[in-house]
Amino acid sequence: MIGIHQVLATLGYGDAIGHEVLGIQRVLQGAGYRSEIFVETADDRLEPLTRDYRELIDVSRPDNLLLHHFSLGSKASRTAYALPDRMALIYHNITPPEYFVGVHRTLARQCFRGRRELKAYAGRCDLALGDSEFNRRDLETLGFPRTAVLPVVPDFSHLERTPNALVAREFDDGWTNVLFVGRMIANKKIEDLVRFFHAYQTFFNPRSRLLLVGAQSGFERYVAALHQLAAALGAGHVHFIGHVSDEELVAFYDVADVFLCASEHEGFCVPIVEAFYKQVPVIAYAATAVPATMDGAGVLFDDKEPMHVAALIDAVVSNLSLQDAIVAAQLAAVGRLRSRDFGGTLLRLIDRMLGCPRAALPRIAFDFWQQFDAAQELEELRLYRPSIDKALPLEAPPEAP
Question: Residue 370: pLDDT band by 50, 70, 90 thresholds?
Answer: low
* DSSP summary character for residue 99: G
Indicate if 163-338 has the same CATH topology as 4-153+341-386: yes
4-153+341-386 belongs to which homologous superfamily? Answer: Glycogen Phosphorylase B; (3.40.50.2000)
Q: What is the DSSP string of 266-301?
A: -SS-HHHHHHHHTT--EEEE--TTHHHHHTT-SEEE
Alpha-carbon Rg of the chain, whole angstroms?
A: 23
Mean pLDDT of the chain: 90
Per-residue confidence band for 361, with pLDDT thresholds at 50, 70 and 90? confident
Residue 283, classified by CB atoms within 10 Å of its CB into exposed (0-12), middle (13-18) or buried (19+), is buried
Helix/strand/coil for 148: strand
DSSP character string of 154-198: ---GGGGSPPPHHHHHHH-SSSEEEEEES---GGG-HHHHHHHHH
| 42 φ, ψ (degrees, to nearest 5) | -150, 150
Fold of 163-338: Rossmann fold (3.40.50)
What DSSP designation does 243 have?
Answer: S
- The pLDDT tens digits of the residues spanning 231-253 come to 999 999 999 999 999 999 999 99
Q: Band of the pLDDT at 327, cuts 50, 70, 90? A: very high
Contact of 171 with 211, CB cutoff 8 Å: yes
Instruction: Give me the pLDDT at residue 114, please.
Output: 84
Q: At residue 130, what is the residue type?
A: G
Q: How confident is the model at residue 105 (pLDDT cuts 50, 70, 90)?
A: confident
- Average pLDDT (260-277) is 96
Position 371 scores a pLDDT of: 55
Q: Taking the domains of the chain in order of start, what are their residue ranges?
A: 4-153+341-386, 163-338
* 389/276: higher pLDDT: 276
CA–CA distance, 253 with 389 (Å, rounded to integer): 52
Q: Which residue, among 347, 355, 362, 357, has the nearest Cα to 4 in the 3D structure?
A: 347
Q: In this predicted model, what pLDDT tens digit does every residue of 158-169 receive, in sequence order?
A: 899 999 999 999
pLDDT top residue among 192 and 43: 192
DSSP assignment of 342-401, as one string? HHHHHHHHHHHHHTSPPPPPP---TTHHHHHHHHHHHHHHHHH-HHHHHHS-SSPPPPP-
CB-side exposure of 286: number of CA atoms within 13 Å? 11
pLDDT number for residue 174:
93
pLDDT category, 77, cuts 50, 70, 90?
confident
DSSP string over 4-42: EEEEEEEE-SSSHHHHHHHHHHHHHHHTT-B--EEEEEE
Return the pLDDT at 112: 84
Q: When comparing pLDDT for 27 and 13, which is higher?
A: 27
Q: Write out pLDDT tens, residues 109-130.
A: 888 888 888 988 999 999 999 9
pLDDT tens digits, 172-223:
999 999 999 999 999 999 999 999 999 999 999 999 999 999 999 889 999 9
